[in-house]
Amino acid sequence: MVKDPETDQLKPFDFEGIMNQVPEVKRFAYSIDTVSFGKPIDSSNMGPKMWVKLAKIIEDNYDKYNGFVILHGSDTMAYTASALSFILENLSKPIILTGSQLPIGTLRTDGKENLITSIQIAGDTNNTYPIVPEVGIYFEYQLYRGNRTTKVNSEHFHAFESYNYPKLAQAGIEIKYNYKFLRSVTSLRPKILHVSENMNPNVGILKLFPGITKSHIKHFFDTPDLVAVVMETYGSGNAPSEEWFLEALKYGIDKGLIITNITQCQAGHVRQGHYETSSGFASLGVLSGRDMTTETAVTKLMYLFGKYEDKDEIRQKFSVSICGELSL
């Protein structure tokens, strides 16, 4: 983003001027090309169609480059990173998303360092393979797995965190990679990138709160075209144990909805059935999201419903790791 000198409001930045704002980029020994949308958008306007558009740009240029950097607003960056990790099937090159908390061009912007280091990470190899053959988010000296990351702060430069998976790298005088937790190119399927273009946006988030009512939940489940629900529960996957709540869940499942259980907590995982308050979920057919983030659960369901028609297959695929998005 940049500030409009007339209104003092933030507006999307024209990427064509990046070399003027960050001339240090010219010092890389890499061949760097840029692609810009005809009209840059605020990240609040991101969605499935734009994720597929990004993926197609990467696909069209995949064989020409060692890696890719996506400049993206921080507000929905974790959603985009999660979505791309599923859409870009058989990915074996770095896709690094980055941005800034202070607009590019301001005196104390964090955007310059974020961009410069992201380019270096996207180009780093072990002489044979890319070091980071996956979708990552780089922000404030830390590299995270994209589908394990969430935005945690709107004011500090340390805007992102990956609570349930270790950082992939830390940048200081040198970039220290956490090789143990990086995906291995040699273990991936044949390196033929495939873009899964169909994303079903009819996925909803139901956040539980004390005082939520049966009518509230049933009304949510009656949303037209809804196919799946990410239910954000308390603690390790807990929810009201009253009969009316279980009846409301059964109502949604009987309608054909896939309902998943994701914790509202930033760290930790769902242990469905560990407490009495979640003991009835499995018998109803509620799926445990274990240690997935909400961003990942939402985009994974969009991806699965766009790719498969059989709900039993969708349920099975949701419960296993496709690209490192869950570990339990």
- H/E segment holding residue 260: strand 258-263
Which residue, 170, 173, 181, 121, is CA-closest to 142? 170
The rounded mean pLDDT for the chain is 90
What would the pLDDT profile of 60-69 be if each residue is shown by its tens digit? 999 999 999 9
Which whole number is the average pLDDT over 149-174? 93
Q: Find which of 70-74, 116-120, 197-201 is predicted with most confidence, using mean pLDDT.
A: 197-201
**Which domains can be identified in the chain, with CATH numbers?**
2-195 (3.40.50.1170), 203-318 (3.40.50.40)
pLDDT at residue 37, rounded to an integer? 80
Residue 12: the pLDDT is: 62
- Residue 161 binned pLDDT confidence (cut-offs 50, 70, 90): very high
Which pLDDT score is estimated for 39?
Answer: 78
- Structure confidence at residue 13 (pLDDT): 62
CA 240 to chain centre: 29
Give the mean pLDDT of 14-24. 64
CA 88, 86, 291, 319 torsion-angle sign: negative
Cα(207)–Cα(217) distance, rounded to whole angstroms?
10
284-315 residue pLDDT tens: 999 999 999 999 999 999 999 999 999 999 99
Higher-scoring residue by pLDDT: 163, 102: 163
Indicate if the pLDDT at residue 108 is higher than 80.
no
Rounded mean pLDDT, 118-132: 92
Give the residues across from 142 on adjacent strands: 139, 170
**Integer Cα distance of 99 and 142 in angstroms:** 13
Amino acid at 32: I
Position 28 scores a pLDDT of 77
Determine contact, residues 80/199, Cβ cutoff 8 Å.
no
* CA gap 271, 269 in Å, rounded: 6
Look at residues 44, 36, 33, 46 and name the one whose alpha carbon lies nearest to residue 13: 36
